[in-house]
Structure 1
Amino acid sequence: MTTMEVNALGGTIVGNLLTALCFGVLSIQIYSYYCAFPNDTRLLKLVVAFLWTLEAFQLVCGTQSLYWWVGANYGNRLASGDGTWGFTTFQISAVCASVTVQTFFSYRVYSLSANLYLGAFVQVFVLVQFGFGVVTSVKANTVRKPVVAAEEIMWVAVSWLATQAIADIVISTCMCILLRRRRTGFQKTDSVINRMVLYTINTGLATSVLSCVVLVLSVKHWTYFSITLGMLLGAFYSVTMLTNLHTRTTLRARLDMPTPLELIDFNQIENAAGCGRLWKCRDSRLQK
């Protein structure tokens, strides 16, 4: 086996183990999601189920590749240079996961802005990265040789990773600007908005940084690390979306926290200000 083939095998082993770990985390998140948000729309529930299916498919692809190389063809030097259907196909699951999650966030940009043109502008970046991702997967399945494919599809793979990172940055920037514009001046509402901005930055930063790291590793021909981290791209997007959906519980809890005004003893104010009837009227209306 050549050095690149050894690195490809090692990267696939480690990447598949990490994918299995992320798949377990995602499964717990999805189970918690269905229990916590039974009233979400059917479409959103189907999207969540679709993401779980994609990650399960990627785990199957990685496992099939390892079985082919170290199980069925152990010691076969000729087979070690061949790309299995699982190895050349797993990347499409990352493409589908990224375009699904990014489309979800681009729709949120449209919902926050009520501007169809802004939503379409963001979606253009999503569709461009999806196009490059599909071309990358098709070319990898056409060549079916990992060593040869690494050279032939380098330009389109770099384009896919770059546009993927750009799409994440554009979405995060738009979301942050739109959320900041919704500040009301009330402490409780503004604290929730600030928390939403922080969540948006963190989720967008995680996926965009990972895409950039995989891009640099691919250009540097560090096959081991590029394959290891590349296999985590789809899982990162799926976990990011589920994390974002679960933040609604935290944000609602912050909104339900009592404000300082609600902790005031109205009886003391009534006696000090001499306006008992006014406060009684307000209390009765609050009780209703």
Structure 2
Amino acid sequence: MASTTTAAQVANIAESVMGGMFIETFIACLLYGITTLQTAYYFQTYSDDETFIKCLVAIIWMLETAHTAFCVEFVYEYLIEDFGNFFTFMTIKWGVGATVICSVGIATCVQGYYVWRVWVLSGRSRIWAGLVGALIVTRVVFGIASAVLCYTCPSWPVLRSKRFSLVTVSGGLGAAALADVVVAVLLSFYLKRGRHSAPRSQQSDSTINRILLYSVNTGAVTCSASLLCVILFAVQTNSLNFLGLVEIQAKLYANSFLGSLNARMLLRDTRIRQPLYSQGDGSVRLRTPVIAVYQQTISRTDRSVSKGSSDFRRSADLKELESPA
């Protein structure tokens, strides 16, 4: 009876400490599959892109692969190698720090790309690009500090007891969330300004609205994930749910980046399905599809007809084919 109670207690501890983190890591692995699919689709569809963008996509995918491998590694250590020993849940596995480093690298690449987009849309304004760049550097510094703490602190209780740990986690994730918000606001502002200054059309408004909606949604998702990680780290002191959400956040950054690249083909297809043409008064209207029906005459001549008569009938038939009904 005592052994049964002990086993039940160990199971309850494992569920409360590792249950949420295990499910979140599983979701992160599913998101990695979507990342791989989007990467393959990008290289097959956009082979004419600049070499810099292709290299950035390849680097992000490699970081995502390493990040997923480290996630599987520390979950395997917690639940398989140390099975039945709930005291091991208090220790910090070496794969945790590796995933933090990979997450920082992924977020830096993705947010750096967004800084470049802001720089281009703002007419190469150094002020806004410098502001977002400073937030990214802050995120990198705090992220590296958090990874160092994972290797210097022997257990989670020791790490949580240090006030510096809350500063590094909240500072790094808070800077990432603020950078996402600033990027979304700046992209929305410059896209709207470009829409008001450019010639108006139904198709251009629809395209810009799609881009605005995508930019705001992706920024809101990654920002919400960052804030939720900080809240879980500060509130749930006896659980590792925040760690699983940190792993999901890295996947959200990669998928938002690849999604923004792969969405270009969808916008092009929309323009093709709704062709436009300009009138003389400067207005733009949808082109109405026109179906032309032509008559075709089949002429059968007798073998006894002369060559000149056959040529005459053939030329008459061609003229009738060229005349619309």
TM-score band by shorter chain is: 0.7 to 0.9
Q: Which residue of 2 aligns with 1:258?
A: 275
Q: 1:151 aligns with which of 151, 154, 161?
A: 161
CA gap 1:137/1:5 in 2 versus in 1, 3 angstroms? farther
Q: Which residue of 1 aligns with 2:146?
A: 136
Note the 1:1-288 alignment, pairs <5 A: 7-76=16-85, 78-114=87-123, 115-152=125-162, 153-183=165-195, 184=198, 185-221=200-236, 223-256=239-272, 257-259=274-276, 260-263=285-288
Q: Which residue of 1 aligns with 2:282?
A: none
- C-alpha distance in structure 2 between counterparts of 1:225 and 1:12, whole Å: 5
CA gap 1:261/1:89 in 2 versus in 1, 3 angstroms? closer
Report sequence identity in percent. 24
For the 8 Å contact 2:13–2:86, the answer to whether it is kept is no
In the TM superposition, residue 37 of structure 1 has moved relative to its aligned partner by 0.4
Residue by residue over 1:88-109, the C-alpha shift from the partner in whole angstroms, topping out at 9 and shown as x without a partner, is 3211211111111111001000
CA gap 1:156/1:95 in 2 versus in 1, 3 angstroms? same
- C-alpha distance in structure 2 between counterparts of 1:172 and 1:4, whole Å: 41
In the TM superposition, residue 176 of structure 1 has moved relative to its aligned partner by 0.4
Q: Which has the greater radius of gyration?
A: 2
In the TM superposition, residue 72 of structure 1 has moved relative to its aligned partner by 2.3
Q: Write the letter of the residue equivalent to 2:152.
A: T
For the 8 Å contact 1:5–1:147, the answer to whether it is kept is no
SS at match of 1:130: helix
In the TM superposition, residue 4 of structure 1 has moved relative to its aligned partner by 7.7
For the 8 Å contact 2:96–2:150, the answer to whether it is kept is no
- C-alpha distance in structure 2 between counterparts of 1:248 and 1:186, whole Å: 19
For the 8 Å contact 1:135–1:156, the answer to whether it is kept is yes
For the 8 Å contact 1:4–1:147, the answer to whether it is kept is no
For the 8 Å contact 2:18–2:241, the answer to whether it is kept is no
- C-alpha distance in structure 2 between counterparts of 1:59 and 1:7, whole Å: 23
- C-alpha distance in structure 2 between counterparts of 1:5 and 1:131, whole Å: 33
- C-alpha distance in structure 2 between counterparts of 1:157 and 1:2, whole Å: 29
Q: Write the letter of the residue equivalent to 1:158.
A: S
Q: Tell me the TM-score normalised to structure 2 length.
A: 0.76
In the TM superposition, residue 230 of structure 1 has moved relative to its aligned partner by 1.7
RMSD: 2.3
Q: Tell me the TM-score normalised to structure 1 length.
A: 0.85
In the TM superposition, residue 7 of structure 1 has moved relative to its aligned partner by 4.0
- C-alpha distance in structure 1 between counterparts of 2:22 and 2:269, whole Å: 41
Q: Write the letter of the residue equivalent to 1:174.
A: L
Structure with more of its chain in helix, by fraction: 1
- C-alpha distance in structure 2 between counterparts of 1:39 and 1:263, whole Å: 32
- C-alpha distance in structure 2 between counterparts of 1:261 and 1:66, whole Å: 56
Q: Which has the higher contact order (CA 8 A, sep 6+)?
A: 1
Structure 1 unmatched runs, 5+: 268-288
- C-alpha distance in structure 2 between counterparts of 1:179 and 1:104, whole Å: 17
Count of residue correspondences: 266
Q: Write the letter of the residue equivalent to 1:211.
A: S
- C-alpha distance in structure 2 between counterparts of 1:120 and 1:35, whole Å: 34
- C-alpha distance in structure 1 between counterparts of 2:149 and 2:248, whole Å: 20
